[in-house]
A and B are shown apart, each in its own frame.
Chain A
Amino acid sequence: MGENGCGKTTLLRICAGITRPDAGRVEERGRIGYCPQEPGLLELLNADEHLALFGAAFGLSRKDAVAAGRQLLEELDFPVGDRSVSKDLSGGTRQKLNLALALLGDPEVLLLDEPYQGFDTGSYVNFWDHVIGWRAAGRATVVVTHMLSELSRVDRVMDLTHPSRRSPASPEAGRRPG
């Protein structure tokens, strides 16, 4: 968490390997699933076509990729079977597809950059339940968030706000919530 512009997205992009750090190094254990804040989708492909394309990266056949992806989409209340191309989907529905693509292929590490933007209330609550489920299944799950109300449910909080600008109510960087 942290104020706007403090580097949350940059940190996640560095962890994913998409942005080069000025200094330091990233160590990783396991395959990474990355869900960017701005859905990295192809505007003129529909959900099944996205699944087939992204699944090919893992060596999945089209049939297997679509089947596995549809299961993930169903769990996120995505209208499975909708043939609309991604640019015609609502913001929240696009984010669900974005999130499902990050989960495709069972990554061991999930990097999620405010993945619930545009979600309705039910989907938002459902998302945090899923986070707990992924964690319970052994996946390291990193979520960039502004939603302080959910911090009690996580194992570790990193506040990237500069210490001089941090409010007294903010958790200390790296502190485990009590």
Chain B
Amino acid sequence: MKAFLQRTVIAAEMQGRQLLRRRLALAILVALPVALYLAMLSQSKENAIEFGALGMSWSVACAALFAVLAAREAEPRLVLIGFRPAELMLGRFLLLLGGGTAFAALVGVAMTLVSSPVSVAALFGSCLLVPPIAVSLGLAVAAVLPHDLEGTLVIIGLVGIQLALSGGAWVNGILPMNGPIQLAYLAGGFPADPVSLMLAHSLVYVVALLAIAAAGWSLRVRVRRGRPAVPAQ
């Protein structure tokens, strides 16, 4: 257990070091939700909350996708010499979840100050629900489609559809970011689905996406151990 924790922590640390060194990418990841939020703010400060949350989901999911893709050559080697796929994935998940949550909290504070939401709790709920779903989405996409362009297009497509739809559209209900969207509506004073339903929807998505990510990634980094050789007579 101690070795598992040690390897998970060092995997997370090295993931964090790599992420922090991509300064330009980080700046763009921060700028994207801010730009979406400010653009919508000029039209409707209530709807701007939804755009801010969806912008964050784009950023966090893409950060997770590229974190996996940057390590796709090295990780089979790490598994070959003793890392378990679960240690690498858990380290990455925890690092991205921590970073994403800190980012979401800052965006939540900024949106609270600017948008004066009807429900501050719903606004923060919307923001803080984004990282677990978006990180899981990015990891799952990376496991199924481990290519930069294809993976990015799928994330743009999934989040973009939700951005384009109105809240009542049934399609929203089957897409991953419905929970944060509904909470954003609640924060803006619009009618929304019950909170328990949003949380259950989000939880199901996180569990399903992580299961896909774990299964897909374990297959990709799997090492087939040879049989022990029988000594020659």
A positions within 8 Å CB-CB of B: 15-18, 20, 25-29, 32-34, 36, 38-45, 49, 52-54, 56-59, 62, 85, 101, 104-105
A26→B224 CA distance, assembly (Å): 9
CB-CB nearest in chain A for B14: A53
Would you call A57 and B73 a contact (CB within 8 A)?
no
Q: How far is the CB of A140 from chain B (nearest CB, A)?
A: 11
Q: Which of B76-84, B135-143, B154-162 contacts A (4 or more CB under 8 A)?
A: B76-84
Would you call A34 and B228 a contact (CB within 8 A)?
no
Would you call B223 and A57 a contact (CB within 8 A)?
no
Would you call A44 and B21 a contact (CB within 8 A)?
yes
A43→B21 CA distance, assembly (Å): 10
Q: Which of B2-10, B33-41, B111-119 contacts A (4 or more CB under 8 A)?
A: B2-10
Interface string of B174-190 (1 = CB under 8 A from A): 00000000000000000
Please indicate the chain B residues that have their CB under 8 angstroms from the CB of A33 in the complex.
Answer: 81
* Contact A44 to B17, CB < 8 A, known contacts A18-B80, A53-B10, A59-B3: yes
Q: Interface centre among B11, B81, B82, by most A CB within 10 Å?
A: B81
Contact of B44 with A by CB under 8 A: no
Q: Using a CB-CB cutoff of 8 Å, which residues 52-96 of chain B contact chain A?
A: 70-71, 73-74, 76-78, 80-83
Would you call A49 and B80 a contact (CB within 8 A)?
no
Please indicate the chain B residues that have their CB under 8 angstroms from the CB of A36 in the complex.
Answer: 73, 77
Report 6 cross-chain contacts, Cβ distance below 8 Å, ordered by A residue.
A44-B22, A49-B17, A52-B14, A53-B10, A53-B11, A58-B81
Please indicate the chain A residues that have their CB under 8 angstroms from the CB of B70 in the complex.
Answer: 42-44
Would you call A29 and B229 a contact (CB within 8 A)?
yes
Contact of B230 with A by CB under 8 A: yes
CB-CB nearest in chain B for A46: B17
Would you call A40 and B81 a contact (CB within 8 A)?
no
Would you call A40 and B76 a contact (CB within 8 A)?
yes
Would you call B78 and A17 a contact (CB within 8 A)?
no
Please indicate the chain B residues that have their CB under 8 angstroms from the CB of A27 in the complex.
Answer: 226-230
Contact of B18 with A by CB under 8 A: yes
Would you call A34 and B80 a contact (CB within 8 A)?
yes
* Contact A29 to B228, CB < 8 A, known contacts A40-B74, A58-B81: yes
